[in-house]
């Protein structure tokens, strides 16, 4: 993940717009996070179609494995997206202007890693660790950086 983010940061030809205020940074993060919902919405559509086409006699009865895979993916993705979004919002308040390019890159990494997780989870449950680690390790890094920023960089602004 660090190599992927670093390569995208160096070689992709775009820069973040000038965002001098915290509210502008939060709106930018919110707009970027809208793209991270694409794999979740796609999972909901596929989950609904698989439930509709399921051979179960009772729609609210026990789910078949093909339906359970999509339902579990959507549920886990929603939980991870909430954690990812809040960490990105806090991260956007601490990053200097030249590093705000990381916000859309982290959003893209989230979306791609959730799709990789979904495909590997559908193939075999033993292969899902790669996609999950591509989602969870950047989340953990953002959390650690946010805690460092809150308690070390700006401890005087902890409650304000």
Is 1 a domain residue?
Answer: no
Is 57 a domain residue?
Answer: yes
Report pLDDT for 56.
Answer: 57
Report pLDDT for 65.
Answer: 74
Is 3 a domain residue?
Answer: no
Q: Domain range holding 150? A: 20-157
Q: How many domains is the chain partitioned into structurally? A: 1
Is 120 a domain residue?
Answer: yes
Report pLDDT for 78.
Answer: 95
Let me know: does 87 contact 103? Beta carbons within 8 Å.
Answer: no
Is 131 a domain residue?
Answer: yes
Is 46 a domain residue?
Answer: yes
Tell me: the pLDDT tens digits for 120-153? 888 877 778 888 888 999 999 999 999 988 888 7
Report pLDDT for 130.
Answer: 85
Please state, in angstroms and as integers, the Cα–Cα distance from residue 22 to each residue in 27, 85, 91, 96, 155, following that order: 9, 16, 11, 11, 18
Report pLDDT for 107.
Answer: 93
Is 5 a domain residue?
Answer: no
Report pLDDT for 159.
Answer: 65
Report pLDDT for 67.
Answer: 80
pLDDT tens, per residue, the chain with 160 residues: 778 877 877 888 878 788 889 899 999 999 999 999 999 999 999 988 887 877 655 555 566 777 888 888 999 999 999 999 999 999 998 888 888 989 999 999 999 999 999 998 888 777 788 888 889 999 999 999 999 888 887 777 666 6
What's this model's pTM, rounded to 2 decimal places? 0.85
């Amino acid at each position: 993940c660090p190599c992927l983010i670093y390569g995208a940061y160096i070689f992709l030809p775009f820069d973040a717009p000038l965002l001098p205020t915290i509210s502008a940074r939060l709106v930018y993060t919110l707009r970027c996070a809208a793209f991270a919902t694409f794999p979740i919405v796609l999972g909901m559509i596929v989950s609904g179609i698989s439930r509709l086409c399921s051979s179960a006699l009772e729609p609210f009865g026990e789910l078949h494995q093909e339906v359970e895979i999509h339902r579990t993916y959507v549920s886990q993705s929603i939980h991870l997206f909430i954690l990812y979004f809040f960490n990105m919002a806090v991260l956007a308040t601490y990053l200097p202007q030249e590093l705000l390019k990381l916000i859309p890159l982290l959003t893209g990494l989230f979306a791609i890693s959730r799709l990789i997780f979904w495909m590997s989870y559908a193939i075999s449950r033993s292969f899902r660790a790669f996609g999950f680690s591509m989602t969870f390790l950047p989340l953990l890094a953002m959390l650690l950086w946010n805690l460092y920023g809150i308690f070390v960089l700006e401890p005087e602004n902890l409650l304000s």
